[in-house]
Amino acid sequence: MEPAERAQAARDRVPRIDPYGFERPEDFDYAAYEEFFSTYLVILTRRAIKWSKLLKGSSSVQKSMTVKRYIRKGVPLEHRARVWMGVSGAQAQMDRNPGYYHRLLQGERNDSLEEAIRTDMNRTFPDNIKFRKSADPCLQKTLYNVLLAYGHHNQGVGYCQGMNFIAGYLILITKNEEESFWLLDALVGRILPDYYSPAMLGLKMDQEVLGELVRTKLPAVAALMDGHGVLWTLVVSRWFICLFVDILPVETVLRIWDCLFNEGSKIIFRVALTLIKQHQAFILEASSVADICEKFKEITKGSFVMECHTFMQKIFSEPGSLSMTTITRLRESCRAKLLAQG
């Protein structure tokens, strides 16, 4: 079969809308996806059987070495919400605070918070049929509620762009408003250091930390960035703010989040370093600032990121050792530098 015929045949077989409601982009490589998915399906089936055995008879998921190993190999969709709720501490918080979420929604009105959230509603996943006004039920209302409740709950953060994408993914996976709220709280309140507060100090700090890690592990890339005076925020801020949503393929993002909820924010650095290391030669071809920015967009596309199972294996091997102690030390020095700059 000719490549064009094979591509058309794959296009006829692979649904145009993915299992989460996203329309596949115009340039989607149906043939490559079909080839990948046929092997991935075998892995998924095998993992699903193992997970069912592991979770049998237990009501909640606790952190352990076995659970960590299982999570790194991927959580089946049917168990994902339960696993995320368990390992992130969101389930425990929800159990300790019955009725709290609904009380937040009935709290005092805050016009500026409501307006900020409402402004972003139509900008959240226009390519997802479940978030369209014509959908029944339309997830925009659920998303609005989760973000509004969170704004009341964490007034220091309120609402910040980027949180809409994260809450949207949580809703698609949990199909549960209250669970999405508590998972958002786990991410914004505990797992990520201060990404969404007005000053975004944690976000700026982590971008600097990535810069320091690249300087140590991939000095040629750091030299290129320095040589052109490119700040890391210019090329990676959306990676951090959106936790790779709308940047990497959906299934890959979910596999990253499986580990993020269990192992914490150092996973973000593992993903970023792997993307940069894998494409180092390509990035080093850049000869201008615009060129560098374009290359950083390109490295988040293609088969390397689509093949989520191999990609996840790579994030734990490619960057080499990356301890939380190292991250904490770098965070402290980068934070101090940022505060000194005012």
Confidence of residue 1 (pLDDT cuts 50, 70, 90): low
Domain span holding position 42? 29-78
Measure the N-to-C terminal CA separation of the chain; round to a whole number of Å: 62
72 and 147 share a domain?
Answer: no
Does residue 187 sit within a domain? Answer: yes
> What contacts 333, CB < 8 A, 6 or more positions away?
212
Owner of token pair 């600032």: 289
Quote the number of domains for the chain: 3
Statement to judge: residues 238 and 117 lie in one domain: no
Is pLDDT of 193 > 90? no
Closest CA to 156 of 93, 199, 219: 199
Same domain, 175 and 256: no
Do 179 and 288 lie in one domain? The reply is: no
Band of the pLDDT at 4, cuts 50, 70, 90?
confident
Structure tokens that stand for 89 in this block? 């501490």
In a domain, 315, yes or no: yes
Q: Which residues have a Cβ under 8 Å from the Cβ of 246 and sit 6 or more positions away?
A: 165, 238
Q: Is 17 among the domain residues? A: no
Looking at this protein, which amino acid is placed at residue 98?
A: P
Stretch 69-95: mean pLDDT, rounded?
96
Check if the beta carbon of residue 171 is closer than 8 Å to that of residue 146.
Answer: yes
pTM of the predicted structure, to 2 decimals: 0.96
- Asked if the structure places residue 15 within a domain, the reply is no
Question: Per the omega criterion (within 30 degrees of 0), is the bond before 137 cis?
Answer: yes
Question: Are residues 130 and 48 part of one domain?
Answer: no
Q: What is the pLDDT of residue 104?
A: 97
State whether 148 and 275 are in the same domain: no
Same domain, 209 and 187: no
pLDDT band at residue 12 using 50, 70 and 90 as cut-offs = confident
The answer on 270 and 251 residing in a single domain is: yes
Q: Is 128 helix (H, G, I), strand (E, B) or coil?
A: strand
Residues 170 and 292 occupy one common structural domain = no
